Amino acid sequence: MDKLREMEVFVAIVDRGSFTGAADKLGMSAAAASRAVGSLETRLGTHLLARTTRTVRPTDAGMTYLETCRKVLDAITDAEANIAADQLKPVGTLTVSAPILFGQRYVAPLINAFVLRYPDVSINAVYADRTTRLLEEGVDIAIRVGHLGDSSTFAIPLGFVRRRTYAAPSYLAEHGEPLHPRDLTNHHCISFTGISLPLEWVFNENGSRLPVRLRPRMIVDLGPAAVLAALEGVGITQLLSYQAALEVADGTLQPILTSFEPESTPVSLLHIERRSASGKIRAFAEFVTETLRKNAHLQGVDATAMRTSR
């Protein structure tokens, strides 16, 4: 088996998380996939994969080699794509991730429009309220709500959202409205772990960070679950502003403790900085950036922030 095929098998095993999954993707047997990796490890003189009865994951050496493999395979894919189609017609499969509610409300319509404009591009959309790891999970583009700490990614600022506290009017009518964050200790609270610690919410008082310890009535790991619980009067919840935008507009939720809101949270478009960004990734980034920056639920970015950063 040639070196490029062995690289392709290795990347597929990491992306699919198993030899069987990689074999299905590449149209070969699991035994052949195992032999390909074995040949690769023998030639390199090191283990690339750590295997258990349930999982397969890259070793430290494997992670380093994985990025190199992706660059080589991407370069070949791009070269072939450039021959098959001109730069105005990007081709290939693009994996895009976004938080569930943000993706559902604002990203999914853009993906649909992108697919209609570029019929030679296939989209794998992943919506999850967690931080996706672009390199490890094979994600080409990620819309991330939160502060960035990954220097291996290229970031395009899109805007900012606020972390706000919400309650249904029916809950406030029955239990009263808290006037200070510390009053929350006497209220039913719904903690959404996607934006805050389950037992501590953070506020801002006179420019200083104000953490408040809670005993939540409910802890959830999905934004829609927190929204639904608040709508039904279970308690008070803390969300990012876009997550409750529709409910605030129709009056079923209302923001409270607004004078204690913490600092804004950035929203960014991320991708791995490599040559493949010049094809389908660049086309998608350019397609969605302007629209998202004009989104009424995102605070704008200034000229300094609009410069791409690492």
Cα distance between residue 226 and residue 139, in whole Å: 27
Neighbours of 60 (CB within 10 A): 11
Cα distance between residue 173 and residue 60, in whole Å: 56
- Residue 307, domain member (yes or no): no
Label residue 233 by pLDDT band (50, 70, 90).
Answer: very high
Q: What is the pLDDT of residues 34-60, one digit of tens each?
A: 999 999 999 999 999 998 877 899 999
Q: Are residues 19 and 77 in the same domain?
A: yes
Residue 134's pLDDT is what? 81
Work out how many domains the chain is built from and give that number: 3
- Residue 298, domain member (yes or no): no
Q: What is the pLDDT of residues 101-127, one digit of tens each?
A: 889 989 999 999 999 998 889 999 999
Q: Are residues 284 and 140 in the same domain?
A: yes
- Residue 305, domain member (yes or no): no
pTM over 0.75: no
Q: Are residues 144 and 17 in the same domain?
A: no
Cα distance between residue 264 and residue 244, in whole Å: 16
CATH, residue 38: 1.10.10.10
Nearest alpha-carbon partner for 187 in 234, 241, 225: 234
Nearest alpha-carbon partner for 212 in 226, 193, 194, 199: 199
DSSP 244: G
Residue 304's pLDDT is what? 36
- Residue 190, domain member (yes or no): yes
Q: Are residues 167 and 256 in the same domain?
A: yes
Q: Is 123 helix (H, G, I), strand (E, B) or coil?
A: strand
Q: Is 282 helix (H, G, I), strand (E, B) or coil?
A: helix
Segments forming the whole domain that contains residue 234 = 163-260
Instruction: Output the six-digit token pair for 141.
Output: 């583009």
- Residue 245, domain member (yes or no): yes
CA 294, 246, 206, 145 torsion-angle sign: negative
Contact 35, 9 (CB under 8 A): no
Cα distance between residue 226 and residue 237, in whole Å: 7
Q: Are residues 57 and 14 in the same domain?
A: yes
Average pLDDT over all residues of the chain: 87
